Amino acid sequence: MSASEEALHLTATDLRMATFRLARRLRCARAADSMSDAQLAVLATLRMHGRRTISALAEHERVTAPSMTSTVDGLEKQGFVARTPDEEDRRRVQVDITEAGTEIVVETIRRRDELLADMLRELDYTEVELETLRAASELMRRVTDR
């Protein structure tokens, strides 16, 4: 294995472990205990990309349509999303996030960012170390976006 191939694999291992541990830790922070990861993921998608059909949501979250129907049922019962029949294609149902749903997403994001900021603050990271984390975040973003 070449030197750069070895660096690639060592980096992958380090980053994989660090990523899973940090995600696990941050996932505990949420705005409502009743909100599951699956529901939160749908709300975050709707907030970012606007109204979506059940099929589009299912594809984006990589679950089946019946599974997404169930998740949207739960969100609708809690008043976090609203279904609207599509007038152009009446097989379709458009799903919109409500104000209450938006609040939940915003508050959950705020709590997670606050938790992470607290953890970073406690470690007294220097400006250079924070810049390293931000540069790495951008490199990680390019990995998932590619």
**What does 137 interact with, of DNA, a second copy, none (CB < 5 to 8 A by kind)?**
a second copy
Residue 39 binds to DNA (criterion: CB under 7 A): yes
Question: What residues between 46 and 85 interact with DNA by CB under 7 A?
Answer: 53-56, 61-74, 77, 83
Residue number, 93 or 116, with CB nearest to DNA: 93
Stretch that binds a second copy, among 51-59, 65-73, 94-102, 110-118 (CB under 8 A): 110-118
Query: For the range 112-115, what are the long-range contacts, defined as Cβ-Cβ under 8 Å and sequence gap of 24 or more?
Result: 112/26, 112/29, 112/30, 115/26, 115/29
Could you say which residues in the range 81-110 bind DNA, by CB under 7 A? 83, 86, 88-94
* CA-based torsion, 98, 100, 103, 105: positive or negative: negative
Q: Does 139 bind a second copy (CB under 8 A)?
A: yes
Beta-sheet pairing, 93-97 with 81-85: antiparallel
Instruction: With both helix axes pointing from N to C terminus, report the angle between 37-49 and 54-61 in degrees, rounded to the nearest 10.
Output: 120
Stretch that binds a second copy, among 75-83, 85-93, 95-103, 120-128 (CB under 8 A): 120-128
Total of chain residues touching a second copy, rule CB under 8 A? 52
Which partner in DNA, a second copy, none is near 64 (CB below 5 to 8 A by kind)?
DNA
Q: Does 83 bind a second copy (CB under 8 A)?
A: no
Half-sphere exposure of 102 (CA within 13 A, CB side): 10
Instruction: Give the start-end residues of each E strand in 1-146.
Output: 52-53, 81-85, 93-97
